[in-house]
Homo-oligomer: A and B are copies of this chain.
Amino acid sequence: MKKIAMLGSGFIGRFYADALHGNRSADKIVSIYSRRQESAQKFADDYGVPHVTTNMEESISNPDVEVVCIALPNNLHEEAVMLCCKHKKAVITTKPLGRNAAEAKRMLEAVEQAGIFNGYLEDLVYTPKFIKAMESVKNGALGRILWAKSRETHPGPHSEWFWNIELAGGGCILDLGCHCVEITRSYIGKDIKPVEVMCWADTQVKPIDAEDHAIGLIKYENGSIAQFEVSWTFRGGLDLRDEVMGTEGTIWINSFLRTGFEMFTTGKGADYVAEKAESNSGWLFPVGDEINELGYNHMFMDMFKSMEEGREPKETFYDGYVVNAILDAAYKSAKTKQWEPVQLDIWRGKEGLTKPSTLTDYDADHYLIKEEMTHFGAKKLILKNKTTGRIEERVLS
């Protein structure tokens, strides 16, 4: 039962509003700030918001407001956060936290000094599929995590500021990679230190200064490896997939393009064609409930419940800072073509981990390499002699 100021009336602000006012919610947006009066007013009309302003501080300091939700372009996050600190309002911020780790660190230190609630709106670690997958991983269903990959690619963002490297702070690495980094970091363990990053990035298609395609690897202290694949040049929709590999299992998640809903249409149904003229025929793959599938419901629930219960939410500014630090290393690596260390002035997880041994005893003299069933039902072993290093096969009847 929270009263919210929404900063930003664009694409993401409206997505958030749909989630916040959705289902049978008791929460309410009570103030809307936008840089453009017309946009603010339209938002207010659509969502029944009483207070409308083009002055950011006026929205934040509004006495009705308990929580400030930042849904602004990346270059405005820091200013908004600082005003929340000044007015001691709980603050939740869209991703990425900053355009870089320096910005993120300043925001992190400010909210902690101000003692205000801070939440990082990384929705994709709140999707229902992610939450259930994470439980299985924690329960040991996958054994030790070896590799986690997250892929987010689509044909490019909707608003102009994303394409401006100054306002956005980067290209698809910052826009999409922030999701992938936090997803894979979660699977590997948020208390495991990210050590170094290798990244390839290029501007392959778009006439822009930032990268429109990138692939990166992140090495963690315990030897686990994370991978991100991001692009603004993918054709075919929004491709949102995660994969995790452990010693005892694997998880594959498809969050958008293949979720059990398939439709073919010739496009001859007249009304339908009129409504959206581009991809209106052939095989289409809609998502049933985008808001829920993208994690917005569970994200805001965690944010508001933890606020009410006086605890930290799953994702805080600290997490946003760690993500920015990893992405900084990725950008540096894309330039230097080296593995670049992750610069973490603030680190609150484990330290000094080492890679687990890969030696598995079979008996006193042998390590076990592999065991499998033969066609004729016997067990076949591949063993390594501890002394000689010799590899041998053995078939047990």
Contact = CB atoms under 8 A, between A and B. Distances in A.
Interface of A: 1, 22-27, 127-133, 136, 139-143, 146-147, 153, 155-156, 158-161, 163-164, 198, 200, 202-209, 212-213, 215, 217, 219, 223, 225, 227, 231, 233-237, 239, 245-255, 258-272, 274-279, 281-289, 292-293, 297-298, 300-301, 304, 337-339, 355, 358-360, 367-370, 372-373, 375, 377, 380, 382, 384, 389, 391-393
A235 B208 CA distance: 41
A209 B282 CA distance: 30
A293 to B, nearest CB: 8
A2 to B, nearest CB: 8
8 contacts: A128-B292, A139-B272, A142-B265, A142-B269, A163-B370, A205-B358, A251-B263, A292-B292
A173 to B, nearest CB: 15
Q: What 7 A-B pairs are tightest by C-beta distance, nearest first?
A: A140-B269, A282-B282, A128-B288, A128-B289, A236-B264, A249-B265, A26-B26
A302 to B, nearest CB: 11
A369 B213 contact: no
A202 B339 CA distance: 15
Given A289-B128, A391-B164, A358 B204 contact: yes
A231 B246 CA distance: 12
A223 B204 contact: yes
A206 B371 CA distance: 12
